[in-house]
């Protein structure tokens, strides 16, 4: 009898494939919206800058008025002791967070909320940024790092500036061992072995001379032992 497929083992969720949450710094998202932020500006001070094994960008610890502490994504140019602020009346300065309606067109932004108050969902990877393209009523069009234009409600908040750590991918890896150690803290599956390179008993695509030997498209209701390849594709082949 062959081994379980990798997709089966990952789906089961054993410790090998789980991200080690005990190593992560904590929840990294915008502070909740309160009356003080709605009425004016809430300021905080950067008290620490640290790396988080669970993400590509550094995080900063900010102490807000009243003693509240929160982890936020680091922005290029923000240093220890800098003051950052939340609110529609905040200055247009790197690290400050404002509603999209208060951000001028053409401004680089990051950590954009999908819905007002959700803490930030878009543009969070190191070195990434989007651009405010236009304001249309209660909607704002932003350009994503991929170039795609996305429409978001203007009440959603975004941080001004580029996510820190942008030079991360410029240094060559040079050897496979270093790549392995880079992936291990995040419990990422690496290296990935192709199914066609396995034996027929180990994978539905295995056996033969480097070709699947059977269709790689499978139904949505295919059992776990066969559910590999293209899952219920709308189309296949070259465009």
List the domain boundaries for the chain: 6-18+187-231, 21-160
Pick out the chain residues at pLDDT < 50.
none
pLDDT value for 16: 81
Question: How many helices and strands, by DSSP H and E, does the chain display?
Answer: 3, 12
Rounded CA-CA distance 4/14 in Å is 13
**Contact partners, residue 210, CB within 8 Å, separation at least 6:** 196, 197
Rounded CA-CA distance 217/213 in Å is 12
The answer to whether domain 6-18+187-231 and domain 21-160 are alike in fold is no
pLDDT value for 1: 59
Instruction: Tokens for 125, please give them.
Output: 């990877």
Write the burial class of residue 94 (CB in 10 Å: 0-12 exposed, 13-18 middle, 19+ buried): middle
Class of domain 21-160: mainly beta
Looking at 3.40.50.300, 1.10.645.10, 2.70.98.60, 4.10.950.10, the CATH number of the domain 6-18+187-231 comes to 4.10.950.10
**Around 81, how many Cα atoms within 13 Å sit in the side-chain half-sphere?**
0
pLDDT value for 58: 95
Rounded CA-CA distance 124/100 in Å is 16
């Amino acid at each position: 009898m062959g081994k379980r497929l990798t997709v089966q083992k990952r789906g089961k969720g054993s410790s090998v494939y789980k991200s080690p949450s005990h190593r992560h710094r904590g929840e990294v998202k915008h502070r909740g919206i309160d009356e003080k932020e709605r009425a004016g500006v809430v300021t905080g001070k950067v008290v620490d800058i640290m790396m988080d094994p669970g993400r590509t960008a550094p995080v900063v610890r900010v102490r807000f008025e009243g003693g509240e502490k929160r982890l936020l994504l680091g922005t290029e140019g923000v240093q220890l002791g800098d003051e950052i602020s939340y609110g529609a009346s905040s200055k247009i300065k790197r690290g400050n967070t404002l509603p999209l309606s208060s951000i001028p067109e053409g401004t680089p932004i990051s950590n954009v909320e999908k819905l007002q108050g959700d803490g930030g969902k878009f543009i969070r990877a190191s070195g990434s940024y989007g651009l405010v393209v236009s304001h249309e009523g209660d909607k704002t069009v932003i350009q994503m790092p991929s170039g795609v234009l996305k429409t978001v409600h203007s009440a959603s908040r975004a941080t001004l500036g580029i996510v820190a750590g942008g030079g991360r991918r410029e240094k060559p890896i040079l050897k496979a061992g270093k790549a392995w150690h880079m992936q291990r803290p995040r419990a990422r599956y690496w290296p990935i072995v192709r199914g066609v390179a396995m034996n027929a008993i180990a994978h539905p695509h295995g056996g033969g001379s480097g070709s699947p030997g059977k269709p790689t498209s499978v139904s949505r209701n295919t059992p776990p032992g066969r559910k590999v390849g293209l899952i219920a594709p709308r189309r296949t082949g070259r465009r």
